[in-house]
Structure 1
Amino acid sequence: MENARIKEILMDIAPTELDFTVTQTGKESKRVNGLYSPDTHEILLHNKNFKTDNQLIYTAVHEYTHHLNAENLLNTLGVAAVYNAKVHNQAFWARFNELITIAEEKGYYKLSIEESPELAEITEKIKKEYLAENGRLMQEFGKLLMKAHELCEAANIRYEDYIDRVLCLPRNSAKEIQKVAAVPVNPAIGFDNMKLVASVHKKDERAEVEKEFLDGKSPVGVREMMRQKAMAAKSIDPKQKLEREKSRLEKTIQQLSKRLELVEESLANL
């Protein structure tokens, strides 16, 4: 696939006003499949790492996500913006998953599990016999813990001591398991995702989060969706958030500067 075609595909997946280049290095790398340079806005793809164009597009979308995030930062902070292409936080993965889904919908990329019957069979087994079954067992576990809590109180036994030294469970784990049992959650989404759903207080919002998982949205995508909704509810825009962070950093620098002066004075008096 030609570089120009890769760029064309990326821009069709998501438009950008910040020009960029795509370069296939003709090399193989054991460290990374691709790189993004925020200074030159260049996407480098080690195309010798890939057996198919499908794999190439996956990495191209990954690096393009960096480009779009760099563009957003530049639009927010202007020329002072410094983008770190090594950072892969929740917001990055949420946006990447969104873009790779668009790529799949447009036919540029495919997650072709069905092309491997054995993989499809194992996937079905994992979902039904492990993810869903584990979720169901943890719900039952939570109900038993709640019952044990009641019995501890009836017997004048500290429940915390029972959790610590009889069941040898971390207290936070016990709380999370009980939360999953306290509200109706579909075990098909798996225990880890059930914990996130159970953490949502309002019933309708909880149902919305659960539906996102059932529709195939990634955990990081769901978490980012929840984070953005919480930010919107608090009316905190990205610029305001960065300004607050700047203020905190300035205070920290000021405190460290004072501490440095004291250390230097102490050294001078020795």
Structure 2
Amino acid sequence: MNNEQVKSLLERVRPAPAPFQVVLSGKKSRKVHGLYKPEAREIILHNRNFTTDNELVYTALHEYAHHLQFSTPPLPRSARTHTIRFWSLFHGLLADAERAGLYRSPFDEIEDFRRLTARIKEKVIAPNGSLMKELGRLLAEAQGLCEKHHASYTDYLDRVLALPKPGADAAVKSHLMDLDPRLGYENMKLVARVRDPETRDKAQQALLNGESHDSVKEMAFVRPEPEEDSVEALQAERKRLQQTIKKLEKRLELVNERLAALDQ
């Protein structure tokens, strides 16, 4: 594949919101397979790292997700680019590319992966979810006993079971909400946090349909931000900056006090 072929493939997966370029470096890199330069809107792929076009397409989609991330609001506010939104974009691109026949997942195509995935889901993840629901049922019973005998439920969790309360609460919710144990422990914790029943059902179904943890997290919890230059966005940014400045001023005051004490 050449530069234009890779670019055309990416635009077939999802139209680009802003112009960009693809550059095949013709090099092999031990550090990265590719990178994205936001200022130049340039995707660089070290094509000698790959043995097949399918491998190259995977990395190209990864870097294209960064292009979408930097070209559509909300724009990244820090140097940390591998955010929940990024992973949601990337996983969505992979799914779109698979549906269009432009990328083939090795996890679906290779029989060894398919067998291993089935074993993990059936032997570990689903039983793990069932155990979480059973734990939730027993903890709900413990809550009732604590109320009956005027004992502290939190103390029971802390000193008798040595269980963190957030995890215990998630287990109880998974029991009360009757979540599907096929989700597994971590995904059940995520779904149990969703307050709206309709959104919760959508989140659970999305996970069962194969959507990623981060994609569902963004769908259920990340609120769309206002336009970058809107009054609401600028006021929110000003508030964040004011809070940061206030914290830094307090820290500076403390450091100055300590320096003054050391000088005495």
Using the size of structure 1 for normalisation, the TM-score is: 0.84
Q: How far apart in 2 are the matches of 1:84 and 1:145?
A: 41
CA offsets 1:18-69 (integer angstroms, 9 cap, x no match): 3222111222222211111112111111122222111111110111111122
Q: How far apart in 2 are the matches of 1:35 and 1:26?
A: 14
Q: How far apart in 1 are the matches of 2:243 and 2:53?
A: 50
Which 4+ residue blocks in structure 1 deviate beyond 6 angstroms?
A: 81-85, 257-262
Q: What letter matches 1:13 in structure 2?
A: V
Q: How far apart in 1 are the matches of 2:198 and 2:250?
A: 51
| Alpha-carbon offset, residue 253 of structure 1 | 3.6
| Alpha-carbon offset, residue 210 of structure 1 | 1.1
Number of the residue aligned with 1:107: 101
Number of the residue aligned with 2:216: 222
Q: Secondary structure at the match of 1:44?
A: strand
Change beyond 3 A, Cα 1:261–1:142: closer
Match of 2:193 among 199, 216, 233: 199
Number of the residue aligned with 1:39: 39
| Structure 2 stretches lacking a partner, 5+ long | none
Q: How far apart in 2 are the matches of 1:141 and 1:110?
A: 39
Q: How far apart in 1 are the matches of 2:142 and 2:207?
A: 31
- Residues 1:130 and 2:119 aligned together: no
Q: Secondary structure at the match of 1:43?
A: strand
Q: Which moved more, 1:27-36 or 1:89-98?
A: 27-36
Number of the residue aligned with 1:176: 170
| Alpha-carbon offset, residue 260 of structure 1 | 6.2
Number of the residue aligned with 1:161: 155
- Residues 1:244 and 2:233 aligned together: no
- Residues 1:25 and 2:25 aligned together: yes
CA offsets 1:108-155 (integer angstroms, 9 cap, x no match): 111133432222111101111111111011101110111122223333
Assess if the C-alpha contact under 8 Å between 2:194 and 2:220 holds in 1: no
Q: How far apart in 1 are the matches of 2:193 and 2:243?
A: 34
Q: How far apart in 2 are the matches of 1:82 and 1:139?
A: 38
Change beyond 3 A, Cα 1:254–1:113: closer
How do 1:15-94 residues align onto structure 2 when only pairs under 5 Å count?
15-72=15-72, 87-94=81-88
Q: How far apart in 2 are the matches of 1:156 and 1:86?
A: 48
Give the paired residue count.
257
Q: How far apart in 2 are the matches of 1:18 and 1:213?
A: 31
Change beyond 3 A, Cα 1:85–1:6: farther
Assess if the C-alpha contact under 8 Å between 2:69 and 2:76 holds in 1: no
Number of the residue aligned with 1:3: 3
CA offsets 1:213-244 (integer angstroms, 9 cap, x no match): 1111111101111234xx36xxx524334541
| Structure 1 stretches lacking a partner, 5+ long | none
Identical residues among aligned pairs (%): 40
Q: How far apart in 2 are the matches of 1:186 and 1:69?
A: 33
Q: How far apart in 2 are the matches of 1:16 and 1:222?
A: 23
Q: How far apart in 2 are the matches of 1:207 and 1:259?
A: 45
Q: How far apart in 1 are the matches of 2:252 and 2:79?
A: 32
Q: How far apart in 1 are the matches of 2:76 and 2:152?
A: 53
Assess if the C-alpha contact under 8 Å between 1:131 and 1:190 holds in 2: yes
Change beyond 3 A, Cα 1:146–1:38: same
Q: What letter matches 2:22 in structure 1?
A: V
Task: Please give the root-mean-square deviation of Cα atoms over the aligned residues, in Å.
Answer: 2.8
Q: What letter matches 1:237 in structure 2?
A: P
